[in-house]
Structure 1
Amino acid sequence: MASMKNYSSIGSGRWLTMRSGMRDFGFQMPQPKVVPWVPKTSTREPGMASRETSPIMRGQMEGWKLRYLRVTVGTRGAWRETWWLNSEEWKGEGARMKLHRLLAEGCVTVLGTVFKEGTVLDRVLESTFEANPKWGKRDRAFVAETVFEVVRWRRALAFIADNPQPAALCAAQWQRMGIEIPDWWSWEGCKVEDMTARETALADQPRAVRESIPDWLDVRGENELGAQWDLELSALNRRAPIFLRVNRLLGSVEETGKWLESEGILTRRVEHAPDALEVTLGRIGKPLIATGRFEIQDAGSQRIAPLLGVEPGMRVLDLCAGAGGKTLQLAALMENRGEIIALDVAGRKLVELERRAQRARVSIIRKELWGPNTLRSLTAWADRVLIDAPCSGLGTLRRQPDLKWRLTAAALEKARRTQKAMLEQYPELMRAGGAFVYATCSILIEDLVGREPHWQIGESLTVSPAATTSDGFYAARLAKK
């Protein structure tokens, strides 16, 4: 995990919830700015997309408009913070806010790097903040708010501004934020006073423009999912909640929930994920994380490891283990008895796994850097094999909105070929009677598993962002034929 830098807002008052990508934390806002959280719905009104899923583009929602500021630092897994404000208060805040040239130009620079070079947004923001140490917390919040929403709603903002260039996109976004755009900010496209009318006309544009997604991806999504694509696409534009996975080695879900409540953290149980807690109020800071009593892990992700049906004493092979979220969950399900080999091509991720394992009091994981001869010694070694296969990652778009602009049809095809090769090559890793779980964090799933001669499909799982509040996943338990 990236270094944990806290760029949370200063102030005092009532605790709210910070919504995030990989991390979700509570924070304090001055009391005049505190408003109730607006429950999420998918209800549609004439001329509007989903009320909750398109907070930037759409109009009022019974007098409310979902607004937020986000601060993102670090690489993947860095903290992201969100303020939810009443639209009128946000408009007032925007009207009082003076747009500083350096911050405005910083937004354009970040966007240019993301769009032209295809760099991961989190990393660009981190380097930008490090290069500008004099920027205060509000400055960083403003820059992050602007660029994340421009990236998320790139095509819709381009329509509103009548220009796809970053300067015009920023102008459209700031207009939506209620910030007065100074005379020194120039762009080609429509004038500010014309943007409101174009925003209204956005409802008549094609879905790919309204929901800001590449045309080819919109076509592919509709071809594979049909009418369900509308629902999934809207869901992928929602804010992602924060979920915890309770480390059952150090306490039950009930005990951990009560302990968190004593620390000022309110949670609730999650359907279909028995070890999951959703944070509804409070702040999860580093001291709490350091206890090892929980991990921050999406609820959908938590549903994959149980498909393996592991038992204490088993040998388990976790291919593409990454930083070990599912690896640690498997160790807990095995009561820290047996052996798990975690493989990955990225050594830095395995280093992070080691740190997390020590924190979680897990001692049965052996880490291996994936090399050309790694698997030869593991023939018929495993009782269970988990592979979190390389994929498009479309199920995580809520947390990584820039991914949809980096993704290509060629990349999807390459991922499909990799998945097919894995399914063909790994039967020999398991003992007789062993089981294999194949999982991806994508919602576009071709029937690769069903066409493989080596495997018999058992239990399968599809986690839909539209039907849940979690990311999108597919997983299937396979057995040797």
Structure 2
Amino acid sequence: MKMHRILAEAASTIAKSVFREHKVLDHELATAFEENPKWGKRDRAFIAETVFEVARWRRALGFLVDSEETTALCAAQWVRMGYEIPEWWTYNGRSAEEIKAREAELADQPRAVRESIPDWIDELGVAELGDAWDAELAALNQRASVFLRVNTLRTTRPAAIEWLAGFNITATEVPGLPDALVLAPGKALPKSLRLDGRVEIQDAGSQTIAPLVDPQPGERVIDACSGAGGKSLHLAALMKADGRVFGMDIDSKKLAELDRRAKRANANKCVKSKEIVATTTTDFAEVADRLLIDAPCSGLGTLKRQPDLKWRLKPAQLDRLRGIQAELLDKYPAMLKPGGRLVYATCSILPSENRAVIDRLLAKGGFTLLEEKPVSPSATGFDGFYAASLQKNPA
């Protein structure tokens, strides 16, 4: 197969900005596609596959080509994709034949090289997960499927399947998750359908969190770290839009996006965005029947979806995040009524961000653990998540 020079250079440039400037891969791709509207579906797919797989397999590709230069890593990835390396592509490293021959030697390399992860994350995974780390890491290196959540305020799952089929999109039900659909491998949802409001892109693991909150019609629910509100909208749907969901965040841009999404989803009468300020916990003291703290975390459960994250994350950052998690569980439960339900969630698979944080809260008294729900990538094929549901002891 032959490739176009402009596309090859674009892929290499994006990969370089991700590795050298620690740019976010998704954002860089979106910007490049916006700036080059003439690129067709196949062009965009070639660029996306190149940069995602180079980010996913950076160290393994580096071993194959004996170089850390982005141009060389791209060349190694193209060999894996079945392309011939064009004569005009200059890089320091091995030839296509040498790259293919070296694949056999990859199995004998240390796990951090073989599975392409920074040494410190590999050591952390072993320390926290022991023997389970191998399987979880392998699962996190698989390509992510696109999962959808059917918005039951606007449609039903069978009707959504039929509606998508009208656009030649095959979506199948996900067992055990009543509102979830999964697209065929490699398939995406066009932007026009993403903006329709009948379905939301939401990983299946993420769809396990709102049901654990168990919101009831007529209640007041606070989603205390809502971001753009995927879980807020799920909570509203479970409540049949009867009651109030306060989507709170420190980022006003994300809250503006939540407002737009709530309108599309027919949830705008139920979902209200609130920017978090110094007085928020006092203003909302004992207001919530249910409180969701979807805490900032390492995001290590989402590596299949954002493989560039493992190269951006640093140990000091992880320490800071653990501090934030503890602080949120110190302050935010003040917004929950006595007898109310608290759900703490992360998209991390590390016990130090999950059960250890809950144990600290339990040790202080005032809460009873009801249920824990870890979502294992290796067991489910979903992103990695953790959630614990607790009851605030009556006063």
TM-score, structure 2 as length reference: 0.91
Query: Which amino acid letter does the alignment assign opposite residue 369 of structure 2?
Result: I
The answer (yes or no) to whether the contact 1:272–1:303 under 8 Å persists in 2 is: no
Paired with 1:248 and 1:413, the residues of 2 have a C-alpha distance of 39
More moved, 164-173 vs 284-293: 284-293
Deviation at 1:407, TM superposition (A): 0.7
1:354 aligns with 2:259: yes
Give the superposed CA RMSD.
2.1
1:322 aligns with 2:227: yes
Residue of structure 2 aligned with 1:397, choices 303, 307, 311: 303
Paired with 1:216 and 1:170, the residues of 2 have a C-alpha distance of 25
Aligned pair in 2 of structure 1 residues 310, 201: CA closer, same or farther (>3 Å)? same
Paired with 2:305 and 2:127, the residues of 1 have a C-alpha distance of 24
Paired with 2:21 and 2:135, the residues of 1 have a C-alpha distance of 31
Could you list the per-position Cα deviations for residues 302-326 of structure 1 after superposition, in whole angstroms to 9, with x for gaps in the alignment?
1111111211111111111111111
The answer (yes or no) to whether the contact 2:281–2:334 under 8 Å persists in 1 is: no
The answer (yes or no) to whether the contact 1:449–1:455 under 8 Å persists in 2 is: no
1:470 aligns with 2:374: no
Matched position secondary structure for 2:47: helix
1:299 aligns with 2:204: yes
The answer (yes or no) to whether the contact 1:462–1:473 under 8 Å persists in 2 is: yes
The answer (yes or no) to whether the contact 1:450–1:457 under 8 Å persists in 2 is: no
Could you list the per-position Cα deviations for residues 55-111 of structure 1 after superposition, in whole angstroms to 9, with x for gaps in the alignment?
xxxxxxxxxxxxxxxxxxxxxxxxxxxxxxxxxxxxxxx2xx1452x4333333222
Aligned pair in 2 of structure 1 residues 180, 264: CA closer, same or farther (>3 Å)? closer
1:186 aligns with 2:90: yes
Which aligned pairs between 1:108-127 and structure 2 lie closer than 5 A? Answer: 108-127=12-31
Partner of 1:247: 151
Paired with 1:155 and 1:203, the residues of 2 have a C-alpha distance of 13
Partner of 1:162: 66
Aligned length: 385
Deviation at 1:209, TM superposition (A): 0.6
The answer (yes or no) to whether the contact 1:315–1:340 under 8 Å persists in 2 is: yes
Residue of structure 2 aligned with 1:152, choices 48, 51, 56: 56
1:340 aligns with 2:252: no
Aligned pair in 2 of structure 1 residues 175, 317: CA closer, same or farther (>3 Å)? same
Aligned pair in 2 of structure 1 residues 104, 266: CA closer, same or farther (>3 Å)? closer
Matched position secondary structure for 2:301: helix
Query: Which amino acid letter does the alignment assign opposite residue 372 of structure 1?
Result: A
Partner of 2:367: 455
1:430 aligns with 2:336: yes
Aligned pair in 2 of structure 1 residues 264, 141: CA closer, same or farther (>3 Å)? closer
Matched position secondary structure for 1:197: helix
Aligned pair in 2 of structure 1 residues 99, 249: CA closer, same or farther (>3 Å)? closer
Query: Which amino acid letter does the alignment assign opposite residue 200 of structure 2?
Result: E
Matched position secondary structure for 2:380: coil
Deviation at 1:287, TM superposition (A): 4.9
Residue of structure 2 aligned with 1:176, choices 53, 58, 80: 80
Deviation at 1:119, TM superposition (A): 0.5
Paired with 1:324 and 1:130, the residues of 2 have a C-alpha distance of 24
Paired with 1:375 and 1:156, the residues of 2 have a C-alpha distance of 47
Matched position secondary structure for 1:476: strand
Paired with 1:98 and 1:471, the residues of 2 have a C-alpha distance of 33
Deviation at 1:468, TM superposition (A): 0.8
Q: Percent identity?
A: 53
Deviation at 1:265, TM superposition (A): 4.1
Matched position secondary structure for 1:330: helix
Could you list the per-position Cα deviations for residues 267-315 of structure 1 after superposition, in whole angstroms to 9, with x for gaps in the alignment?
3322331221223498744554454332221111111111112111111
Deviation at 1:451, TM superposition (A): 2.1
Uncovered stretches (5+) of structure 1, i.e. residues with no partner: 1-93
TM-score, structure 1 as length reference: 0.75
Could you list the per-position Cα deviations for residues 313-353 of structure 1 after superposition, in whole angstroms to 9, with x for gaps in the alignment?
11111111111111011111112111111111111211111
Could you list the per-position Cα deviations for residues 183-225 of structure 1 after superposition, in whole angstroms to 9, with x for gaps in the alignment?
4433223333322222110110011111110011011111111
Paired with 2:235 and 2:174, the residues of 1 have a C-alpha distance of 19
Paired with 1:262 and 1:136, the residues of 2 have a C-alpha distance of 22
The answer (yes or no) to whether the contact 1:99–1:179 under 8 Å persists in 2 is: no
The answer (yes or no) to whether the contact 2:259–2:272 under 8 Å persists in 1 is: no
Uncovered stretches (5+) of structure 2, i.e. residues with no partner: none
Which aligned pairs between 1:176-255 and structure 2 lie closer than 5 A? Answer: 176-255=80-159
Could you list the per-position Cα deviations for residues 364-395 of structure 1 after superposition, in whole angstroms to 9, with x for gaps in the alignment?
11111122222220111111100110001111
Aligned pair in 2 of structure 1 residues 400, 190: CA closer, same or farther (>3 Å)? same
Deviation at 1:117, TM superposition (A): 0.9
Could you list the per-position Cα deviations for residues 238-281 of structure 1 after superposition, in whole angstroms to 9, with x for gaps in the alignment?
12222222222234334444554566444332233122122349
Residue of structure 2 aligned with 1:270, choices 157, 170, 174: 174
Between structures 1 and 2, the one with greater helix share: 2
